[in-house]
Amino acid sequence: MFDKILIANRGEIALRVIRACREMGIASVAVHSTADTDAMHVRMADESVCIGPPSSTNSYLSMPALISACEITGAQAIHPGYGFLSENAGFVQMLEDHDITFIGPRAEHIRIMGDKITAKDTMKALGVPCVPGSEGGVNDVDEAKRVAAEIGYPVIIKATAGGGGRGMKVAENETGLEVAFRTARSEAKAAFGNPDVYIEKYLQRPRHIEIQVFGDGKGRAVHLGERDCSLQRRHQKVLEEAPGPSITAEQRERIGAVCANAVAKIGYAGAGTIEFLFEDGEFYFIEMNTRLQVEHPVTEAIFGVDLVRQQIRVAAGLPMEFQQEDLAINGHSIEVRINAEKVPSFSPCPGKITQYHAPGGLGVRMDSALYQGYSIPPYYDSLIGKLIVHGRDRNEALARLSRALGELIVDGVDTTVPLFSALLEEPDILSGDYSIHWLERWLAKHYA
């Protein structure tokens, strides 16, 4: 086992990893930019190293700075968290060259899944059902028109290098396709440095269902059920729950086994998420994330496992602490993402926290790096906390979420908390009857 791990991240996820390290008796090293000198992850870690100026390109994304920080502190492994360098195959390669262990999958698997066209081809070959669409990339408008006519409108044009909900354009008909195709390509080039796009059938009212998988890197893998992440704004998740209100035990077993087998077959190591759109009882693969997800705590809650601990174990060459038959679902869990944003514009709202009080009690988990007097810097993601509740069933989880939101105090900046309080009044949310388009429509109606 490692003696010391460096966490190449900030905010709540850095804290999450430090906590796992501490429980395992492993020393932790925080890295930070000059804007994060007073951040909670710096205070909580055993050691810290300043790795650069505020801009993440020159700090949290600086591979030489991170490697130097490992060398200075003697950290033997890096946990990347999510975002930043968590899905960067070049970084994994570079760490290997420096004899530093990356806590995550092999570079090869990150590379395959990082290119969405290759990911789809790979998954299809492994027996995973995919959204109907183009075979590989689409290079010009005429080809796009041919493919769209074949699969039928509406279609969605997606960047092969896409991520974070960006680089997607919907076309309702042939006229719209031309504009959508050109815009998607130029946006993809600007955002990801790669203009390649592909086409998929645009599903009308699917749910976003993702399967948590975990591999030991030696050909064994398990699944930990699904999360429903359909409540989205601009293709970005806002609230997640597990198990999915629309998924039956039989559907879970079927798709879970397909996913576990697929990752076992490629010798995948560590945590991964296979994302699907789910409509009329069918699953359609959209992408795989080769890292820990923001919403992993809802899975941890219902299965009673610590996913970060398992990631660290597998990276150290130890076996997972469970097999498929040990994994049983207990109750229901919901997570809400608390962002420092002004509703309804969702514009970022950095600033000083004048008062902070975290909710507590049975079945409540608050993952946040906030503290009273902390100043949220304007340079990074606006996620400031995740409130996760766990109940014996969905109704208890909903009641607990409502109760916990009432206890939470975050003063000094605007947050998305009022949005969640309003959502908990909605019959569709209470019954679990929502698709990926529900929230956008609700926002349009309520804040028009």
- Check: CB of residue 189 under 8 Å from CB of residue 263: no
Q: How far is the CB of 436 from ligand ADP (least distance, A)?
A: 4
Instruction: Pick the closer one to ligand ADP by CB: 56 or 232.
Output: 232
The 10 Å Cβ neighbour count of residue 99 is 8
- Interface with ligand ADP includes 134 (CB under 6 A)? no
Instruction: Pick the closer one to ligand ADP by CB: 11 or 162.
Output: 162
Residues 201-240 that bind ligand ADP (CB under 6 A): 201-203, 206, 208, 232, 235
Q: How far is the CB of 328 from ligand ADP (least distance, A)?
A: 28
Count of all residues that appear for the chain in the document: 448
The 10 Å Cβ neighbour count of residue 138 is 25
Which listed range, 94-102, 122-130, 163-171, 244-252, lies at the site for ligand ADP (CB under 6 A)? 163-171
Q: How far is the CB of 293 from ligand ADP (least distance, A)?
A: 11
Among 87, 196, 240, 275, binds ligand ADP (CB under 6 A): 275
Residues 235-254 that bind ligand ADP (CB under 6 A): 235
- Check: CB of residue 44 under 8 Å from CB of residue 370: no
Instruction: Pick the closer one to ligand ADP by CB: 51 or 294.
Output: 294
Instruction: Pick the closer one to ligand ADP by CB: 205 or 392.
Output: 205
The 10 Å Cβ neighbour count of residue 238 is 21
- Interface with ligand ADP includes 286 (CB under 6 A)? yes
Q: How far is the CB of 202 from ligand ADP (least distance, A)?
A: 4
- Interface with ligand ADP includes 131 (CB under 6 A)? yes
Q: Residue 6 and residue 4: Cα distance in Å, rounded?
A: 7
Instruction: Pick the closer one to ligand ADP by CB: 4 or 189.
Output: 189
Which listed range, 50-58, 100-108, 162-170, 337-345, lies at the site for ligand ADP (CB under 6 A)? 162-170
- Interface with ligand ADP includes 169 (CB under 6 A)? no
- Interface with ligand ADP includes 137 (CB under 6 A)? no
Q: How far is the CB of 99 from ligand ADP (least distance, A)?
A: 32
Helix axes 107-114, 89-97, angle to 10 degrees: 170
Q: Residue 120 and residue 300: Cα distance in Å, rounded?
A: 27
Residues 393-432 that bind ligand ADP (CB under 6 A): none
Closest by alpha carbon to 64, among 98, 16, 19? 98
- Interface with ligand ADP includes 152 (CB under 6 A)? no
Q: Residue 265 and residue 269: Cα distance in Å, rounded?
A: 11
Q: How far is the CB of 285 from ligand ADP (least distance, A)?
A: 10
Count of residues touching ligand ADP (by CB under 6 A):
21
- Interface with ligand ADP includes 200 (CB under 6 A)? yes
Q: Which amino acid is at 35?
A: A
Closest by alpha carbon to 175, among 196, 191, 153? 153
Instruction: Pick the closer one to ligand ADP by CB: 66 or 203.
Output: 203
Q: How far is the CB of 281 from ligand ADP (least distance, A)?
A: 16
Which listed range, 3-11, 29-37, 196-204, 298-306, lies at the site for ligand ADP (CB under 6 A)? 196-204
- Interface with ligand ADP includes 287 (CB under 6 A)? yes
Q: Would residue 291 show up in a list of annotated catalytic residues for this protein? A: yes
- Check: CB of residue 225 under 8 Å from CB of residue 303: yes
Which listed range, 57-65, 74-82, 195-203, 338-346, lies at the site for ligand ADP (CB under 6 A)? 195-203
Q: How far is the CB of 353 from ligand ADP (least distance, A)?
A: 29
Among 162, 256, 270, 363, binds ligand ADP (CB under 6 A): 162
> Which member of 111, 291, 365, 400 is catalytic?
291
Q: How far is the CB of 121 from ligand ADP (least distance, A)?
A: 15
| Catalytic positions, written as ranges | 291
Task: Kindly list the residues in this chain that would bind ligand ADP in the complex (CB under 6 A).
Answer: 131, 156, 162-166, 168, 200-203, 206, 208, 232, 235, 275, 277, 286-287, 436
